[in-house]
Amino acid sequence: MEEAGCAWRVPVQRIRDNNYNMTLSGLGLIEPDKTEHEAPEEILERVTEKQERVLELLEEMRLLLLEEAGNGIA
């Protein structure tokens, strides 16, 4: 591999062998970032809590609209 400034050269066969993945980490030019994710159960729990809050807010809005409509305010 030759480097000059921000350019690099990679043999064609290396690109083919890598299923044409041209990312720097895919070509082995840099180490890929390590990403830690929460457990799926924790993510689903948080999403469920937020969804419940959204439903509560929608119900509050619906009641406010009904209340205004009942007072002749549109």
Summarize the confidence of residues 31-48 as an average pLDDT.
Answer: 92
- From residue 41, alpha-carbon distances to 51, 52, 54 in Å are 15, 16, 20
What's the predicted TM-score (pTM) here?
0.48
Q: Give the pLDDT score at 65.
A: 94
The larger pLDDT score, comparing residue 4 to residue 57, is at 57
Interval 40-54: pLDDT, tens? 999 999 999 999 999
CA 18, distance to chain mean position in Å, is 25
Share of the chain above pLDDT 90, in %: 43
Of 23, 26, 27, 25, the residue nearest 10 (C-alpha) = 27
Confidence of residue 71 (pLDDT cuts 50, 70, 90): confident
| 3-state helix/strand/coil string of the chain | CCEECCEECCCHHHHHHCCCCCCCCCCCCCCCCCCCCCCHHHHHHHHHHHHHHHHHHHHHHHHHHHHHHHCCCC
